[in-house]
Homo-oligomer: A and B are copies of this chain.
Amino acid sequence: MNLSTLLITIEVGGTVAFAMSGLIEAMRKRMDVVGVVSVAFVSAFGGGTVRDVLLDRRPLFWTEHEAYVWLVLAMGLTAPLWLSMAMREAGARLMIVADALGLGLFAVSGTSLALSAGMSPLVGVLMGVTTAIVGGVARDVLCNEVPQVYRDHRPYAVCALVGSAVYLGLAALNVGSEWASLAGALVATGSRLLAVALDWRLPSWSPRSPQ
């Protein structure tokens, strides 16, 4: 499996996972079919699109791989048929796992593309985190909520940051890109799932005194 195959697999996996988080959130808000499909699109493609615009990469990844667009469209149009039971059974759990997969996969792809564009390691990590969280932030803004990733006091962006850093470190040690990507994504996804399972919390960062 060569680098570009791995990166494409990474993008497909992340796209499906993030689209699902958008579907679930939009359906909870009782949106119509246009809202559900749009929020799924923004959740799935928002982070990568902002990354591509900031790095001035064209064509955008989803215009280059139209199958992604058809996939998210099909997921959105058929969602009521298959998502209803899943939500009743295991809504919250499903969303956490889907999000964790997307988190790891997008963090690594964002960092890797930033480095290919000649960016520094710092900007590489920022682009990894951006790719991982901006879709979810845009999803919550469209649903008129404070972004979950900013307020739930659970490690999420921090896991993307750690996964991006692992990728960077292994790549600097001349580990092959495929293995570095895999390790980075596993660390990000794994640390996120651990954080949820063990109920790790971030500090609230508020001043100690009452407001």
Contact = CB atoms under 8 A, between A and B. Distances in A.
A149 interface: yes
Nearest to A119: B63
Contact of A149 (B35, B123, B206): B35
Nearest to A24: B207
Given A38-B157, A80-B208, A207-B84, A150 B32 contact: yes
Contacts of A205: 26-27, 31-33, 35-36, 79-80
Contacts of A31: 146, 150-151, 204-206
A32 B152 CA distance: 7
A27 to B, nearest CB: 5
A202 B87 CA distance: 22
Interface in A5-58: 26-36, 38-39, 49, 53-54, 56, 58
Contacts of A175: none
Interface in A128-152: 133, 137, 141-147, 149-152
A60 interface: yes
A199 interface: no
Contact of A204 (B32, B49, B203): B32
Nearest to A142: B147
A122 interface: yes
Contact of A207 (B39, B63, B83, B150): B83
A146 B32 CA distance: 12
Interface of A: 26-36, 38-39, 49, 53-54, 56, 58, 60, 63, 66, 69-70, 79-80, 83-84, 87-88, 119-120, 122-123, 126, 133, 137, 141-147, 149-154, 156-158, 202-209, 211
